[in-house]
Structure 1
Amino acid sequence: MIFHKMTLLYAGVLLALFSFLPLAEAGVIRAIRVEGSQRIEPETVRSYLKLDVGSSFDAEATRNSLNALYATGFFKDVALEQEGDTLIVRIIENPMVREVTFEGNDAFAADDLKKIVTTKARAIFDRGKTERDLAALRQAYRVKGLFLAKIEMLTKSADGNQVDLIYRISEGEKSKVQEVRIIGNKGLSEKQLLKKLLIQPTDWLSWYTETDTYDREKLLSDQNQLRNTYLDNGYVRVRVDSSVAELTPDRRAFLVTHAVNEGKRYKFGPIRIVGDFTELPEAELYKVLTVAEGDWYSQQRVRDSAEKLMDLIGDFGYAFLDIRPDKMINDEDNVVGLTYQVSKGKRVYVNRIEVSGNVRTQDNVVRREITLVEGDRFSASKMRTAKNKLQGLNFFETVEVTTPPAGDAELVDVKIKVSEKPTGTFTLGAGYSSQESILGMASISQNNFLGKGQRMVFSVAHSGVRNEYNISLTEPYFMDKKLSVGFELFRRETDQTRYSSVLEKANGGSISLGFPISEHLTDTIIYKLVETEVHYTGSDPTLASQVIREQENLSPYLASIIGNVLYWDYLDSRMNPTSGRSHRLVTEAAGLGGDVRFARVVTDNHIYIPIDSDKDWIGHLRGRIGFEEGMGEKIPIFERFFLGGSTSLRGFMPSGVGPRTAQGDSYGGSHFEQLNTELFFPILGMTDKGVRGLLFVDTGYLGESDLPTGVSDAGGVRVSTGVGLHWNSPFGPLRFTLGTPLVKEPNDKTRIFDFSIGSMM
């Protein structure tokens, strides 16, 4: 054994000596020659050497030179040799990367994968870097849930010492989350906890939401979300002991398990507000709190109360206000006392308002959403409102508002930094509805026209019932005032063959002027000028009703209409309201010029009432009332009221109720009353995916006090009921409704099933 070790030692020494034999002779370097360089200049090679002209041929310096050259990553092979008094540096350069491509990628776009790899086109090929790139790509696929993905890198030689890098990817199937379990929960149900989590078990919508994809970061977020859910329901001592994801034996799915220790449930104890703010009576501060002694503890309500105090006190000019809620947990009585410590700081005023990040959007478009001006006393609520308004414009990806000191202790600058996003869209749409058959549409819109915040739209729509062309432009701040001015031009053809044997052709336009009266109330004045033609669509004109013949003989007629719209909005969201109310009052009068005279009033009211704290169950009441008077003349048929269909009385066809001619044509009415009662409810916990069930009862009446000859009376009140499904799907809104009339008249036209499917491409 000793002999063997000595043999290895001598062999190593001899190898080291022979390795540097060409440089072993003592002497001085008189010249350095670089051989093999193609892209890299010889002078660049020499700059990495630890030897130079005039220095000795030194073994240690030689080793250091070799290491330095290899460390650059430029060379595949390097050799240093001595020829007399000349040092020869022989190099073989690493190839240059000509192109980086990906094959077999579907989960990621090629551009996204190119952002992950550090080796780019025109870079020097480095085997170490490409190995790290491979590891980064594999990690990206694991985050995406594709744990079975296989990635290999191929190199393909090209002219000029270049190579193409090809990443060949076999993605395999995603490793789905098969099951999510929560153990240790008693006070809160597993269903209540699961719906708050980012990672969900596979369901029929997973292809769209991808919530069933495992991700370590999501798992950690869910751990925190579980804790927050418990804190919002009174469990102040809750612990999430572990969150574990285990692969099934076939590595195709995960089992996620969260272990919790709930502890006891606590209520709010005494609540106090202390500090140095004295501008308002103490009772006014307590009024804005959303917490109350005796209620179950909620961390979210503690934060909400702090924000409301921030707005209330901050409006007195305190930009550096500090409100700290201190909790005192009493484990014996299971209560949490709460003390809001208020430190108002100094009262400050606005020095300058600065806007940055807006390249296309003009400065005044941003500034006009801010009600504060330079010199005003600082207001926290006005700043919060300004930020919300800027985000609501939908012009910007992000909006950041900061209020740093302006040098003077009593001044702050308001700095608004925005990041713009594209505001122009080209939209194609297609769909089908039981009311209009096949529907196609196209539109071009620009929400920030010329960077002035103006909205311009051109649209075309075609279906089995209507053809419509429309162009409009709206200026929300006319002459830099809170005046909304707009115009619209349109051409519309509506074929009512299914309901009234008539075809309407309308050409016209409108101008409008809108302005806010208060925070929740706006008023809009509208003038419309419309020319309308009425044509009988039956095969035999002699069979047309007298009413239709009269309408056809009078057409085309010109309607000059001036109207006013008052709109009150107290909804929490216009797109998907869950609480609040809205009211619309529309008054119109025709007769200022034109061929027809009438006046009408329509009111439309909505009330949304959340039934449960999570707002999964929502009650909705809609009430509409309309009345119109011909002012001594007959009201044209297309200016009358009609009821029936998915937007008024479900279970009846459009124009399916009301006065009707002997030939079966709908005549419409001069007044109507409509009440829709709805209950939205969750289906299989998919509310957050835009799916909701619906129960409804519709009630309506359409009447006419002065019926012409040949038109029968409308009868009484109609009532219908049914169920529905609403889904805000990835390809547009889907609405399915099954309705059945409970109260109807013999001449009514009914339809049990209504549905519409929209697609945005």
Structure 2
Amino acid sequence: MVRGKQGTPSKAGQRFSIKSYSTILNRTASALAMVVALGLAPLSVEAQSYRFTDVKVEGNQRIQSSTIVAYTGLERGQAIDGGELNDAYRAVFDSGLFETVELVPQGNTLVIKVVEFPTISRINFEGNRRLKDDALAEVIQSAPRRVFSAAQAEQDAANIAEVYRAQGRLASTVTPRIIRRSDNRVDLVFEIAEGDTIEVERISFVGNKAYSDRRLRRVLETKQANILRTFINKDTLIDDRLQFDRQVLRDFYLSRGYVDFRINGVNAEVTQERDAVFLVMDVTEGQKFEFGDISVSSEIADADPDEFQAELRLKPGIVYSPLAIENAITTLEQLAVRKGIDFLRVEPRVTRDDRNLRLNVDFALVRGPRIFVERIDIEGNTTTLDRVVRQQFNIVEGDPLNPREIRNSAERIRALGFFSNANVDTREGSTPNQVVVDVDVEEQPTGSLSLGGSYSVNSGIGVAIGISEANFLGRGQRVGLNISTAQDSEEYNVSFTEPKLLGRDLQFSLSGGLAETNSNFAEYDTSTLFFRPSLTFDTSDVTRLQLRYGWSQEEMQDRGTTSTGGSRVGSVISSEIAQGALNKSEIGLTYTYDSRRTGLNPVAGFLMEADFDYAGLGGDTEYLRAKSKIVAQRLVFNEEITLRATFETGALHWLGNEPSRTIDRFLLSPSVFRGFEPGGIGPRDQGGGFDDALGGNIYAVARFDAEFPLGLPEEVGLRGGLFYDVGNLWNLADSNAGASANVVGRDGSFRHVIGFSLLWTTGIGPLRFNFSRALVKEDFDQEQPFDLTLQARF
């Protein structure tokens, strides 16, 4: 007789450790091997073979007898020896379906006695407070009404512990246990000791010279523990986050020219209380390199190196950056496509000039392998249409394969935000010179309901409600409904965006709605009904152009009397109100240049915007309006201080038969010129006991900011700032002001303001406190020495 068992049943209702259960299995199997070897030895001497004409199975409840017999591999009437009988036992035992197995020869009959593994009746979790049962049930494979497996239970316990470790609870333990029930059933219980989270008490660096510890801590996702950890919640020691921090720290140095940077090690020293760690990163910065000689060489007759080099934006003396190399390669390969040169590949060949700390780069134009794209297969998109994913590829079936373009396409697919996971791989096609591009995605919800709040000294408390769908009907289109209300304004807006009109890089947007204001800084209300379609497209890697049309109906509404109780008869505002609701039909364009889009210079950026509008395509008003804004920003002093300069200007040339109104002209808000109320500077009507801002046809503003740390922990989110603003608003040509003696400030004058800002990044949104003082102003200006703004979305 050959027998063996995988465990010993415990008493019903008694908890049984899975580890003990596994130990019994292992020990029993080892003992069984010895018993079988010793037991069969004499049999092989006395009888050389067995011959069974019948096979019986006993003890099986769920598994058919024919299946068990098939596991043995024995055939009736076949002569077998002791070793083959032992092999038959092992085959049944190793199936993992039975707790005990016995092979009993009874004359010409082989009796197979088995005890099946129990069935899981239910699964319970005990000791878990931080994670709910439903969340834990998603990470285990064991399930009720399935056959119990000790190995699977151990793996499930490890998976649960891993979930806790991902939350920083490194001391958590999970012990699986079973409770025997009747009818060969068991209850599986996971006993969980969650433990406490391990906080990062302090993060420090060794070997850094170019950048301070404080600057490097701002790069990391892991933060130091502080009193605001309830909101920040990033000061927990998590291994995955540390791995991410290693990569972002390396990217930080490489983008600044430190090509030899490396992280020697990361050491976590446990505090004496054993509830926190001191994190120390040992780094080697190396030297900072710049680009040296930039050249293009060609191994392809059709590719003129001079023509390709003319396309490069890289210049000697620029700080070396891998991103700049990638952008240059993309530029050259795109030029090759436009010239019809297939299979051209760009190989950057870098030589070091350690003496001058420069890297010379030669972009070699070489012929790549002749491989074509056979097809693009997309799987996993249950809602999103195939064409939405295909639009992210700049190649189609039959085009030459460009591995770089495949990688860029994968990044664009992930950037859509439609998928929780997106993998793009290539495999060999039907012939060796063809490949199939496999796109495997996992859908995720794309609709959202957003609630927002805002507060400012000017408009008071506001509430915003937004309903949006980023992937409408799986077409990649965005639709939204937004309602925002504040103490002095309300707006209802419906929007629609098609990012790939006609399958091209052409964004079409359409918005319409109603906006109403009843500002405390004006003696009248406004109502605007609007409709605005637009087209936006890139003209280069740093420039963008928007073409738009706008129709609106605007009206100024009388409140009856002024806030001081005076009459409006004869005032400029009353004559503008008398014009009633006027329709406006205008076309316009916005040209944007933004150097930050390329990311070539991580410490500096330049933005320029130019707006031009013409109203008069029908409607009641006609004018030409131009606005421009230039912003330059740079990080200095170990990248701790941000310097920013902003210049804005605008001009309105009125062409209509009717005079312009205040709502047609420019009114400067505190976001444009600080230190004054909305409309606080510029021409004003002070007749009849009231004081109305009239706006102006021309304005010019310059703002200078410096933001710096206050010496507090970076995790607190507090920074300070100094600012200086100078600006002017003037000109009332073509208005109802005429030569009225009550109007002041027609010719304007430049005002000068200095101030201090406190910037606080909180868990509920960014707060900005502005404290200002006007150095030069007019007596009729309306100052605002303090301004607070808050905007939060949650």
Residue of structure 1 equivalent to 2:729: 702
Is 1:319–1:347's contact at 8 Å kept on the other side of the alignment? no
What is the rounded CA distance, in whole Å, between the counterparts of 1:356 and 1:132 in structure 2? 33
Q: Alignment partner for residue 642 of structure 2, among 614, 617, 621?
A: 617
Q: 1:449 to 1:503 in 2, by over 3 A?
A: same
- Which range moves more in the overlay, 189-198 or 52-61? 52-61
Residue of structure 2 equivalent to 1:468: 491
Aligned pairs, number? 740
Is 1:325–1:340's contact at 8 Å kept on the other side of the alignment? yes
- Deviation of 1:565 (Å): 2.2
Q: Please, which runs of 5 or more residues in structure 2 have no aligned partner? A: 1-30
What is the rounded CA distance, in whole Å, between the counterparts of 1:720 and 1:583 in structure 2? 24
**What are the residue-to-residue correspondences of 1:379-528 with 2, within 5 Å?**
417=439, 419=441, 422-475=445-498, 487-496=510-519, 498-506=520-528, 508-514=529-535, 518-519=539-540, 520-528=543-551
Asked whether 1:583 is paired with 2:616, we answer no
- Which range moves more in the overlay, 318-327 or 431-440? 318-327
- Which range moves more in the overlay, 679-688 or 462-471? 679-688
The residue identity in structure 2 corresponding to 1:280 is: D
Q: Secondary structure of the residue that 2:156 maps to in structure 1?
A: helix
The residue identity in structure 2 corresponding to 1:559 is: L
- Deviation of 1:611 (Å): 4.0
Residue of structure 1 equivalent to 2:173: 150
- Deviation of 1:617 (Å): 2.4
Is 1:317–1:377's contact at 8 Å kept on the other side of the alignment? no
**What are the residue-to-residue correspondences of 1:167-316 with 2, within 5 Å?**
167-186=190-209, 189-191=212-214, 193-197=216-220, 199-203=222-226, 211-216=234-239, 219=242, 240-260=263-283, 273-277=296-300, 279-282=303-306, 285=309, 288=312, 290=314, 292=316, 309-311=332-334, 316=339
Normalising by the residue count of structure 2, what TM-score does the alignment of the two structures yield? 0.75
Residue of structure 2 equivalent to 1:3: none
Q: Secondary structure of the residue that 1:132 maps to in structure 2?
A: helix
Residue of structure 2 equivalent to 1:607: 631
- Deviation of 1:649 (Å): 2.3
Q: 1:619 to 1:167 in 2, by over 3 A?
A: same
What is the rounded CA distance, in whole Å, between the counterparts of 2:175 and 2:752 in structure 1? 67
Residue of structure 1 equivalent to 2:775: 742
- Which range moves more in the overlay, 650-659 or 278-287? 278-287
Task: Kindly provide the CA deviation profile for residues 551-579 of structure 1, in whole angstroms up to 9, marking residues without a partner as x.
Answer: 49956933221212221122145899962
Q: 1:81 to 1:482 in 2, by over 3 A?
A: closer
Identity over aligned pairs, percent: 24
Is 2:419–2:444's contact at 8 Å kept on the other side of the alignment? yes
Residue of structure 2 equivalent to 1:649: 673
Q: Secondary structure of the residue that 1:601 maps to in structure 2?
A: strand
Is 1:641–1:672's contact at 8 Å kept on the other side of the alignment? yes
Asked whether 1:130 is paired with 2:153, we answer yes
Normalising by the residue count of structure 1, what TM-score does the alignment of the two structures yield? 0.78
Is 1:644–1:657's contact at 8 Å kept on the other side of the alignment? no
The residue identity in structure 2 corresponding to 1:744 is: K
Asked whether 1:97 is paired with 2:150, we answer no
RMSD (Å) for aligned C-alpha atoms: 5.1
Q: Alignment partner for residue 586 of structure 2, among 539, 563, 586?
A: 563
Is 1:563–1:586's contact at 8 Å kept on the other side of the alignment? no
The residue identity in structure 2 corresponding to 1:700 is: G
- Deviation of 1:417 (Å): 4.2
Q: Alignment partner for residue 345 of structure 1, among 361, 367, 372?
A: 367
What is the rounded CA distance, in whole Å, between the counterparts of 2:415 and 2:122 in structure 1? 43
Is 2:266–2:282's contact at 8 Å kept on the other side of the alignment? yes
Q: 1:360 to 1:29 in 2, by over 3 A?
A: closer
Is 1:399–1:418's contact at 8 Å kept on the other side of the alignment? yes
Q: 1:164 to 1:471 in 2, by over 3 A?
A: farther
- Deviation of 1:700 (Å): 3.2
> Which has the bigger relative contact order, CA under 8 A and spacing at least 6?
2
- Which range moves more in the overlay, 558-567 or 472-481? 472-481
Q: 1:92 to 1:460 in 2, by over 3 A?
A: same
- Which range moves more in the overlay, 235-244 or 519-528? 235-244
- Deviation of 1:633 (Å): 3.0
The residue identity in structure 2 corresponding to 1:633 is: E
Residue of structure 1 equivalent to 2:618: 592
What is the rounded CA distance, in whole Å, between the counterparts of 1:741 and 1:185 in structure 2? 43
Residue of structure 2 equivalent to 1:673: 699
- Deviation of 1:263 (Å): 6.2
Residue of structure 2 equivalent to 1:4: none
Q: 1:50 to 1:147 in 2, by over 3 A?
A: same
Task: Kindly provide the CA deviation profile for residues 581-625 of structure 1, in whole angstroms up to 9, marking residues without a partner as x.
Answer: 2323242436934xx545351413132332449696242313032
Is 2:454–2:462's contact at 8 Å kept on the other side of the alignment? yes
Q: 1:349 to 1:673 in 2, by over 3 A?
A: farther
Q: Please, which runs of 5 or more residues in structure 1 have no aligned partner? A: 1-11
- Deviation of 1:92 (Å): 3.7
Is 1:319–1:379's contact at 8 Å kept on the other side of the alignment? no
